[in-house]
Amino acid sequence: MQFDEANFIQTDLETLLELFGKKYHYDTPAAAAHQNISEHLWPHLKALEYTTERLLAIGEDSDVLAGVPPDARELTESIDDYEVGDVLIADSPRADQWPHPDLQLRLAKEAELENASLVLANLPMTDTRALTRATKTDLAMVHHGLILDALAWLRPGGLLVVTAHRQLLEGSDAQPRRSIARHADLVAAVRLPSSALRQAPLQDSPVDLLLLRRREPGHPPAGLDFIGRSPVHVHDAPDMLINDCYAIAPWAVLGNIVPDPVEPDMTTVAPVGGDFRRALAQALGAHSDIAIDDGLYAQERTTRASKAHPAPVQDTSRAARANPDGPAL
C-alpha cells in the first residue's frame, strides 16, 4: 500500500486545528449570546404554555438559557460544562416575568430526571468547526445520544430546547435523525449565523436551535420534516444539500445561505446586518403559531380515533402557512 504523504499531512493539520478549536471554545465565553437567545426564546415558550411544572437545564450557560441574568448567577463554573453531567432543576418561571432572577435552580437528583415539562440543553462544541471525518461522525452521534437522553427526561408532550452542531442535521448519515424522529416531533428549527455565539478562531460553525416535542403514544409523526436533505439554490454555486426543515422554511435560516469556505461540500450562514435577534424572534414566532395550530404545545394530547369521513385534502404544510417571504433579514 502506497503511503499518501500529502493526505497524512492534511489530516494531521486538521486534527491539530480541531485541538486549537476546542481550546478557543473553552477559553471564549458565550454567555452574552446565550442571553440574547434566551430573551427571544422565552416569549415563545410561554406562548406554547411551557410555564408550569418543572424544567431541567444542562450544558454551557444553561442557567442563562433558563433566564437567569448573567450578573445574578450563583452556580459554580463547572456546571457550564456538559461533560461534567450536572443537571439543574427548578419550577418553571412565571409567565409574566422576564428575566427570571427568582428562578431557584439547584442540582437535580437522579430520581428527578423524569416527567419534566421542559428541558433546556446547550450541547457541547455546537459552534466549533469539525474538520476530520471522525470528528464529524462523533459530533453527530454524541449529540444524537444526548438528545435521546434529554427526551427521556420529559413527560409526553414535554419540550426539549437544544442548541446543536449543524453536523446533526447536515450529516450524510440520516440514522441519528431517524432515531430522534421515532420519539419526537420537531416543532421549530432555526439556524443561527456563523460566529453567532463566539467571535473566535474556528468557532464559526452555524448553530441549530431546535425545539423537539416528545410525541405522545398513539400519535403519528408531526411537525417539521428533518430526516432527509434537499437541494437548495446557492448564489454563484451549484445547488447544494440542506436539511429538509430549512429547504421548506428558508426564512428560518438567519442569514444568507452560502458555500462554506472551509468545507465546500457544506453550506454555512453568512450574517446579515450583524444582529440576528430580531430575525430569531420572527422565526420562532412563525414556528410557534403553526405549532399551536397543530396542537403541538404543552397540553398532552389524548389518542384520537380515526375519522370515518376524512376532510378534503388541503395544503396545510408549514411552508404554505408561514409567510413565504419570511422574516425580514
Contacts of 311 (CB under 8 A, 6+ apart): none
Place of cell 439543574: 88
CA distances from 2 to 7, 132, 265 (A): 12, 21, 27
Distance of alpha carbon 138 from the chain centroid: 17
Q: Report the distance separating Cα 59 and Cα 78, nearest Å.
A: 10
Counting residues of the chain whose pLDDT is more than 90, the rounded percentage is 70
Which residues of the chain are under the pLDDT cut of 70?
Answer: 1-11, 74-85, 304-329
CA separation for the pair 253, 17 (Å, rounded):
27
- Residue 97 sits at φ, ψ, to 5 deg, of -115, 135
User: Can you give the three-state secondary structure of the chain, one letter per residue?
Assistant: CCCCHHHHHHHHHHHHHHHHHHHHHHHCCCHHHHHHHHHHHHHHHHHCCCCCCEEEEEECCHHHHCCCCHHHCCCCHHHHCHHHCCEEEEECCCCCCCCCCCCCCEECCHHHCCCEEEEEEECCCCCCCCCCHHHHHHHHHHHHHHHHHHHHCEEEEEEEEEEEEHHHHHCCCCHHHHHHHCCEEEEEEEECCCCCCCCCCCCCCCEEEEEEEECCCCCCCCEECCCCEEEEEECCEEEEEEEHHHHCCHHHECCEEEECCCCCCCEEEECCCCCCHHHHHHHHHHHHHHHHHCCCCCCCCCCCCCCCCCCCCCCCCHHHHCCCCCCCC
Residue 22, all three cell numbers: 476546542
* Residue 98 pLDDT: 85
Chain segment 161-186, per-residue pLDDT in tens? 999 999 999 999 999 999 999 999 99
pLDDT of residue 265: 84
Any idea where the domains of the chain sit in the sequence?
31-301+314-321
Query: How many Cα neighbours within 13 Å face the side chain of 257?
Result: 23
71-89 confidence digits (pLDDT tens): 777 654 444 455 556 899 9
Averaged confidence pLDDT in the chain: 86
C-beta neighbour count of 200 within 10 angstroms = 18
